[in-house]
Every structure is written in C-alpha cells, then in structure tokens.
C-alpha cells in the first residue's frame, strides 16, 4: 500500500478526514447527515445558492432531515454549506451526488458528472479520495472521469484515489437509511478500493467490495432494472386481468401466500423517482457499444411509461359514461409526490397525468400536504400549481378525483362518500363502490 493511501486510511479511521459532498439533494443531504452523526466534519457543495443559504441558516428543505439536527451540527461547526468549489481542496474525501438524467432522446446526460469532475480536477491535490455515487452506465468512472483527473499530472492509486459506490437512498423508508443499507464499493486500483472501503466502513452497517467500478456501476443498474421489469409485468397484468373481470390486487395477495419463489410487486399509475424511470436506459444506451439491443428492458420502459395515459383514458371514459366531457371537467388529483408519505416529485407519474388532463382541456387541481407547490420541472416547464385544501366542498365540486399517490394521512372512506367519481390508481380504496373505478 502506497504512502498516500496509508496516510489517508489512517486519517479516515481516526475520523480526522474532512468529507466533501457535492450535490445536496435527496441523496447528498442524507449522506452529509450520516457522516456528521458519526463524528466527521463535512463541507456540502451545491450550485444552488438557495439551498446553501437555507442549510447555513439551519433550515432543511427535505422532510426527513430535521431542522434541529442541522442546527446542532452548525453549532458544533462540524458542517458548512458552500457554493465556493475552491474549498474542495480542504476535503480529504469528495463524494459526488449529482443528477444523471436522460436527454430528450433518452440518452444518458453525464454533463453534471463531467462538469463536476472538471471542477474537482481544477482543485485536486495529493491524498484525496474521489467517489462517484450518482447512478450511471458501466465505464463512467474509469473511461470518463479518470482521464480528466489524470490530466492534472497526478497519478491514480498513488497520488489520488477514485472509486464508485452507488447510492441506495430510499426516501421515506423508516427501516433502511443511508447508514443501515449495505454499500457496494468498487475502486479503480487496489489502494483506491481499500481507502474507499475504509471510508464507508466508518459510517455504513456493511460494505460490499467488488473487483472494479464497472461491477459496482452494473450492480446498481441491475437493482433498478429488476424493479422496472417486475413493475411493468404487474402493470401489464393489471390491464389484462381488468378485461377478464379479475382484480389484480386480489391475485397479488393470493400469490404472496407462497413462501418461496415469489416476490410481490404492485401496479400503479406509472413509476417515479430518479432511479427506476431513468437508470435502465443507461444500460440500454451502453449496450449499443457491444451490438446488443435490450428488448426486455425497453419493453418494460414502454409499459411503465404508458401507465399515466391509461389512467387518463380510464378517467375520460368514466366521465363520458356519466355524460361529462373531459374538456372543462374539474379534476382533483390526490398526491403529486412519486410515492406515499414523501415530498419527492422527481419523475412522478402525477406530473404526466396532470399534463395530459390539461392538454385535453380539463381544469386540474391537486392536493398533497407533502408538496405545497409544484413547479420547476424540466419536462413540464409550464406546470406551476399550488396544493389546494382538501375539504368537502372541493371533493363534491370535482367531477373526478384521481388517487395518484396513496398518502397515509388521507381519509379514503370520507373521500369516497363525498366524491362523484373516484379513479383509484393505487388500490387505496379497499371496498367496492359504484362511484369508484380502478385504474
């Protein structure tokens, strides 16, 4: 083991290493909290000055990171947020948690990762560990990032260290947090892996070292492709079983009684979050380099992408049966977060449902106590709505109420009693009712 690696490992194990986290969103901020809670000092980096100001004032913009926790860390001077990336030189380990979206052609957009890598390179010094946590295609770490960092003249595995360790953040999960979820780690060299593993060993319940960053990158894609394919399967079965007069939810419950060889997945109005709608297409794109067409993955994506259209079609048909045209109809969408009991709107199917309804001339409102306002979305730049109060007058005055996200706090029995029509895309309403249709 080289001298720089030994020195950094010793510093990490003594918790004297300073951690830099780039990107203070749903992945980066929980990571900041995890390192702070284990006694490390952390610098948070973000280009969003609003986030920086809020964090330095001790105010959280993510529901599951409390303001009291932030203020405690600020008082001890263990944490500071900044938009000054020259301060990267102060960090011994730099963890990258920036977006990896798709472009308009559904190809990987690595601009955030590569721009960040260039900024790190401009401030790189000996003895630093760089870890990419953003989900990406196999080869990003060693093919894209490494050449940028080595262009500084510093040598990988001797002067600085580079690894990939995919985030496994699950917003709203009360059982598995950043600290209690095992973490896969792949280093470019043996010393890179050793130093990166040493870092995560200090804060994560279990580290899972693998032979290379490519294996680590591929493992994250497999996790999310597994979910995407199985969600697509139950969504397709939902549409098939509906035509047969069979309740897919009852079928899933019955199948779940088998104690082996089966894992339940549940249908919905489409998938959301930053991972499942996006990550499979990173492998689809990369597979083209080896002359392989990922038919299975792409088909799953097509089915899941179709689901908001299915919900809207079911809504339009139900309104037509009641003599109401979709144009001018008052539609209330319950839930704009991508899943229950969180405030995360990224890739939420509700956004597509609202957009499609608006295109058809419906007057759309939404209620979501977790999301007071919805705006600033890349794919829906014109969408700017505020959550409306949920009361009897609002429910009774709506031609249709769509349950798009099944937040636990909503009284679905009362909603069904008061609504003219309920379109339930989440199986939130368990009892059959004449004014409820499943979608």
* Residue 310 burial (10 A CB sphere; 0-12, 13-18, 19+): buried
- DSSP, collapsed to helix, strand or coil, labels residue 165 as coil
CA–CA dist 366, 372 (Å, integer): 10
Which residue(s) pair with 1 in the sheet? none
Q: Are 426 and 269 in contact (CB under 8 A)?
A: yes
275 catalytic, yes or no?
A: yes
Strand partners of residue 104: none
User: Residue for token digits 């990987």?
Assistant: 108
**Residue 118 CB-half CA count within 13 A:** 5
Q: Where are the beta strands (DSSP E) in 66-159?
A: 79-82, 93-96, 128-132
Alpha carbon distances (Å) from 144 to 3, 113, 217, 220 = 26, 9, 13, 18
Q: Where are the alpha helices (DSSP H) in 244-334?
A: 248-255, 279-287, 295-321
195, 275, 307, 423: the catalytic one is 275
Question: What span, in angstroms and rounded, lies between the C-alpha atoms of 260 and 65?
Answer: 37
> Rounded to whole angstroms, how far apart are CA atoms 98 and 101?
10
Residue with the two structure tokens 């919905």:
268
Which uninterrupted H or E stretch holds 231?
helix 213-243
d(CA 340, CA 412): 14
Q: Measuring CA to CA, how many Å separate 121 from each of 61, 150, 158?
A: 30, 8, 16
**How crowded is residue 124: how many other Cβ atoms within 10 Å of its Cβ?**
22
Q: Is 226 helix (H, G, I), strand (E, B) or coil?
A: helix
- Of the candidates 439, 172, 223, the one whose C-alpha atom is nearest the C-alpha of residue 316 is 439
Q: Please state, in angstroms and rounded to a whole number, the distance separating the CA atoms of residues 287 and 141.
A: 17
- Which DSSP helix (H) or strand (E) runs through 332? strand 330-334
Q: Residue 252: how many CB atoms within 10 A of its CB?
A: 18
Q: Which residues are catalytic?
A: 275
């Amino acid at each position: 083991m080289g001298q720089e690696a030994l020195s950094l490992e010793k510093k990490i194990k003594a918790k004297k290493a300073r951690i830099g986290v780039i990107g203070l969103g749903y992945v980066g901020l929980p990571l900041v909290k995890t390192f702070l809670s284990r006694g490390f000092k952390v610098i948070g980096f973000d280009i969003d000055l609003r986030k920086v100001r809020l964090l330095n004032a001790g105010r959280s913009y993510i529901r599951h990171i409390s303001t009291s926790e932030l203020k405690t860390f600020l008082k001890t001077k263990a944490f500071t947020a900044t938009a000054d990336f020259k301060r990267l030189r102060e960090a011994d380990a730099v963890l990258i948690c920036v977006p990896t979206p798709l472009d308009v052609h559904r190809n990987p957009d690595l601009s955030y990762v590569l721009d960040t890598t260039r900024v790190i390179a401009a401030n790189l010094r000996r003895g630093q560990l760089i870890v990419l946590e953003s989900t990406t295609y196999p080869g990003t770490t060693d093919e894209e990032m490494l050449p940028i960092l080595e262009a500084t003249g510093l040598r990988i595995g001797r002067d600085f260290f580079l690894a990939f360790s995919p985030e496994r953040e699950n917003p709203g999960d009360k059982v598995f947090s950043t600290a209690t979820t095992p973490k896969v780690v792949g280093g470019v060299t043996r010393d890179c892996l050793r130093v990166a593993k040493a870092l995560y060993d200090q804060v994560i319940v279990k580290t899972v070292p693998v032979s290379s960053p490519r294996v680590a990158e591929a493992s994250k894609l497999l996790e999310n492709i597994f979910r995407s394919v199985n969600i697509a399967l139950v969504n397709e079965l939902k549409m098939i079983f509906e035509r047969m007069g069979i309740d897919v939810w009852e079928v899933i419950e019955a199948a779940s009684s088998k104690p082996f060889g089966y894992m339940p997945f549940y249908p919905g109005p489409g998938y959301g979050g930053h991972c499942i709608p996006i990550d499979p297409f990173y492998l689809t794109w990369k597979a083209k380099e080896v002359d392989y067409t990922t038919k299975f993955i792409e088909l799953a994506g097509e089915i899941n992408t179709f689901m908001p259209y299915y919900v809207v079609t079911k809504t339009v048909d139900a309104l037509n049966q009641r003599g109401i045209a979709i144009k001018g109809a008052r539609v209330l969408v319950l839930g704009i977060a991508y899943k229950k009991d969180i405030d995360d709107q990224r890739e939420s199917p509700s956004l597509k449902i609202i957009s499609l309804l608006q295109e058809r001339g419906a007057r759309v409102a939404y209620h979501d106590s977790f999301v007071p306002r919805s705006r600033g979305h890349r794919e829906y730049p014109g969408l700017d709505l505020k959550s409306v109060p949920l009361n009897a007058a609002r429910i009774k005055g709506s031609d249709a109420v769509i349950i798009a996200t099944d937040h636990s706090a909503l009284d679905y029995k009362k909603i069904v009693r008061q609504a003219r029509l309920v379109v339930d895309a989440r199986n939130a309403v368990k009892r059959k009712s004449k004014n409820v249709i499943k979608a």
